[in-house]
Structure 1
Amino acid sequence: MASYAAIPHQTNSRPHSRVSSRRKPSRHDARLDHPGPASWTSSVINLLNTIVGAGVLAMPHALSTMGATLGTLVILWAGLTSGFGLYLQTRCARYLDRGTSSFFALSQMTYPNAAVVFDAAIAIKCFGVGVSYLIIIGDLMPGVVRGFGEVEGGFLVERRFWVTAFMLVVIPLSFLRRLDSLKYTSILALSAIAYLVVLVVYHFAAGDTLAEKGPVNLVKWQGLVPTLASFPVIVFAYTCHQNMFSILNELHQPSPSRTTSLIATSIGSAASVYILVALTGYLSYGTNVVGNIIAQYPPSAAATIGRLAIVIMVALSYPLQIHPCRASLDAVLRWRPQTTSTKPPHQPGSPSRHTLLPSTGASSAQQKKDLSDLRFALLTTCLLLLSYTAAITLSSLDRVLAYVGSTGSTSISFILPGLFYYKISDPDSPWQHRLAKDDDDEDDGDDGEPSSAAAAASEANHARRVWRARWLRRLSLALAVYGLLVMVTCLVVNTFLLNAPAH
């Protein structure tokens, strides 16, 4: 992943020599000479914490509608498609300067006049999820208090009190500037997830739910309508793409192998947790399992601690929603219609790989400086006040979040990564010759070979890259189409299936 500003005068070097112009791969790239502060481990922790949330508690119910076999396959499929969307984001980031990757930057580069729509969708989605976290806190904490003692009245069982109290916890976390600063809170949140997993597995192993257990279907499903109603729950459970670019910007040495392993580890770990909870929870209650399995367990100290673990988890996940929401809101407020071409220059010696600057004329560095000062504080304060007001005013956002998730989550998980990569990887696009140079430089390791062997190896590598790029571009378009189908399906489900007369 090279920085092309560092090699502006070598665009014609390939025809002259295939051996002498070679150098060691990515480790010497200027893109990696300015490493970010975040380690691979902390990046995995933050991404995994963004993925695994309260949605894990609904996995057993989703499995009950599909049957154990189909449900497990859907969980794996959802993880695969979400992981592919994350991978396309890492590929798109190669076209941007180190530390400037964002949906807004890619929008300015590919679909400049639609950038505001993309960022608005991300901001709305993240804001809605953040509000839902505060509502969960207000709904669960009175029950936690009652579980620890006989409390019938007073402020300790008032949901507004607990929303206000936990705002004092999330406010300082929301003002942290880097995602890497949240790695310790993410560890605590993942510890809460681990407790919930242990609790579900324990009840399954203990067999203390047999009295309430319904039929268990390994293959048979409950029908098309219940399955379609549960499908969005599984798809949205992997949504973490809003934070991927921030993680790439902060990751130390974001080489292709490190970013790919980061995605594989995070998605694989999340899928393992989902399958384990889904299977053990479903086998515990069968078709009688409810949407939140923790709420179904009989009153006990362990169940009360489990509810408290959910509160801790969502409270510490709230800043992970504010971070991308703030960045997207800032981009929306800065947006102006493009009046000039955003194509990168072709001529050698160009100082930059792209011209992604908004019409304000501010550079990326200047934008970050502005956002890090008064603008950063104002945007964060506004988001906190608005989310707090919504949380104490509304007792349930199920209907709103259903539509927000159907549109926002689907857009950033599938549609945007697919469309961005399909556009930016066009063989005739002005960005391709730059990435081709990067790929040539990464084919190092054969300085000692005869020139004919080196040329043959280079040609073979080039043919493989062309074949891989062609199929990757086709798959990116397929992911975008798949995202549109998922969006339509989810909207139909939310409008016509979940909006039953019982509601």
Structure 2
Amino acid sequence: MGSASGGNSADTPRGRRPRSNRSLKDQHFNGQASWMSSNINLVNTIIGAGVLAMPLAMSHMGILLGIFVIIWSGLAAAFGLYLQSLCARYLERGNSSFFALSQITYPNAAVVFDAAIAIKCFGVGVSYLIIIGDLMPGVIRGFDEGADAVPFLVDRHFWITVFMLVVIPLSFLRRLDSLKYTSIVALVSIGYLVILIVYHFTKGDTMADRGPIRVVQWGSLIQVLQSFPVIVFAYTCHQNMFSILNEIRDNSHRSTSSVIAASIGSACCTYILVAITGYLSFGNNVLGNIVGMYQPSIASTIAKAAIVILVVFSYPLQVHPCRASVDAVLKWRPNGWKPIRTTSNDSPVRVAPLLPQTPVQQKSGSEIGEVRFAVITTVIIVLGYTAAMTVSSLDKVLAYVGSTGSTSISFILPGLFYYKISDPESIHHQRLAKEDDDESSADEEDGQGDHWNGSWRRAVLRKLALGLALYGIFVMVLCLGTNLFFTTAH
């Protein structure tokens, strides 16, 4: 694929013709996020409290199969992100979203896609609030043994309310890039958890409680099926990928691909490190939350506090895509978005989605009005707070939401979108293919062509995209079946 750069002057060396009219239009919108901040936000979206369940998953699968599944799931998630970056090239710079993409692929199903994303992100956000309520009483007891004498200090409702005062202002930030500093704090918390687990493994102070170790052999089929969704869903970050593509300063193909590789790669290495060291520390006796297995100490108490910090700063990363999807659902009208034909003096006639404003007028994609933005955000926060205060466990609900929402966002939608939009008969694909061919011709004139047949490459990618969508359907059926038939049996 040719570069999808933002049209900076550096992309058109002296004596060389402009890449394409689409790239020239991109000059009207310049992202502000750096490569590093984009990578940090994506990594923080990926790695959550679920990292603590990796040792248990490895105990069910054995070390070899566990490592393979972690790497495989990372590659599948990375390919879904890659397809999203390719799909974004069919949209105007700064307007990428699942909704905008569905308008030129499956317009009648757009509301279903965004509703699934909104429900998934909302459910994950509520689970974060529940984790805060569950952990904070233990954190307080760890620092003060007499905390039970003050009832509200060990009341989960009190701590959920307190931390809402932290997440509310963060949830009202418009740009994902604005959360880069809180994401850094969250990643420091993850780093502390990883160091704690590795430290206890190297110290060997858990050997007395360690059970048998499985290297090649795995547990029962039911255990493997139960652990597989945990690893698959641990890479879900696709709901924020379009925001990152909209905001990143350099949206060239190389830059966005490197963000995907760096974020998924670092998450994969973290998961493998925690899974192996945590599993070798406790063997088959390991539990779902490995931090809770260590002897009470200041270090383990700080680790619980680190989990709280992690989920607090991860909550706004779920509100951001949830708000965008809710807004898209509210804007959706049956047959209300129809393609229009646009022309320019130096480009062929093409089809474009009818947007509320022209791309030149928009500052960061389909901007939500101030009042609408405030109302939607407030409703999400209030409903989330109410759910967290009234429900103590959402495990079963999240299991179903994850089985449907995560698989749809990570595999099915990216695969179906790219398969549809890259159809050789699609006018969108014809336009982009022509631009790619023009860029390839320009590169060959400058001696920079890669001599890789673009048509053949696009055909292979299209087949792989369909394969990813089918894989997503398989994972969805497998995970739903596991939740329906195996969880209760276990």
* Maintained 8 Å contact 2:4/2:253: no
* 1:30 equivalent among 14, 20, 24: 24
Aligned match of 1:54: 49
Aligned match of 1:424: 421
SS in 1 for 2:457: helix
Distance in 1 (CA, whole Å) between partners of 2:46 and 2:351 is 31
* Maintained 8 Å contact 2:414/2:465: yes
1:85 aligned onto 2:72: no
Mean Cα displacement is larger for which, 134-143 or 362-371?
A: 362-371
Report the CA distance between 1:224 and its aligned residue: 1.1
Aligned match of 2:68: 73
What is the 5 A alignment of 1:5-24? 23=17
Aligned match of 2:99: 104
Return 5+ residue gaps in structure 1 as ranges. 7-20, 450-456
Aligned match of 1:126: 121
Aligned match of 2:136: 141
* Maintained 8 Å contact 1:65/1:227: yes
With over 3 angstroms needed to count, the CA separation of the structure-2 counterparts of 1:427 and 1:279, relative to structure 1, is: same
Aligned match of 2:11: none
Aligned match of 1:16: none
Aligned match of 1:218: 215
* 1:489 equivalent among 468, 478, 481: 478
The normalised TM-score by structure 2 is 0.92
Return 5+ residue gaps in structure 2 as ranges. 8-14
With over 3 angstroms needed to count, the CA separation of the structure-2 counterparts of 1:340 and 1:204, relative to structure 1, is: closer
* 2:276 equivalent among 275, 279, 283: 279
Aligned match of 1:152: 148
* Maintained 8 Å contact 2:4/2:251: no
The one-letter amino acid of 1:152's match is: D
Report the CA distance between 1:442 and its aligned residue: 2.6
Distance in 2 (CA, whole Å) between partners of 1:357 and 1:325 is 23
Report the CA distance between 1:345 and its aligned residue: 5.8
1:161 aligned onto 2:150: no
Please give the per-residue CA displacement for 1:45-101, whole angstroms capped at 9, x wherever unaligned: 000000000110000000000000000000000000000000000000000000000
Aligned match of 2:454: 465
* Maintained 8 Å contact 2:26/2:92: no
SS in 1 for 2:415: helix
Please give the per-residue CA displacement for 1:243-278, whole angstroms capped at 9, x wherever unaligned: 000000000120000000010000000000000000
What is the 5 A alignment of 1:307-456? 307-338=304-335, 341-342=338-339, 354-357=351-354, 371-443=368-440, 444-447=442-445
What is the 5 A alignment of 1:177-256? 177-256=174-253
The normalised TM-score by structure 1 is 0.90
Please give the per-residue CA displacement for 1:180-207, whole angstroms capped at 9, x wherever unaligned: 0000000000000000000000010000
The one-letter amino acid of 2:205's match is: D
With over 3 angstroms needed to count, the CA separation of the structure-2 counterparts of 1:56 and 1:2, relative to structure 1, is: closer
Report the CA distance between 1:434 and its aligned residue: 1.2
* Maintained 8 Å contact 1:44/1:265: yes
The one-letter amino acid of 1:164's match is: T
Distance in 2 (CA, whole Å) between partners of 1:397 and 1:106 is 31
Distance in 2 (CA, whole Å) between partners of 1:418 and 1:96 is 17
SS in 1 for 2:173: coil
Distance in 1 (CA, whole Å) between partners of 2:22 and 2:95 is 20
Aligned length: 477
Report the CA distance between 1:351 and its aligned residue: 9.3
* Maintained 8 Å contact 1:415/1:484: yes
SS in 1 for 2:249: coil
Report the CA distance between 1:158 and its aligned residue: 0.1
SS in 1 for 2:295: coil
With over 3 angstroms needed to count, the CA separation of the structure-2 counterparts of 1:295 and 1:337, relative to structure 1, is: same
* Maintained 8 Å contact 1:125/1:405: yes
SS in 2 for 1:338: coil
With over 3 angstroms needed to count, the CA separation of the structure-2 counterparts of 1:288 and 1:172, relative to structure 1, is: same
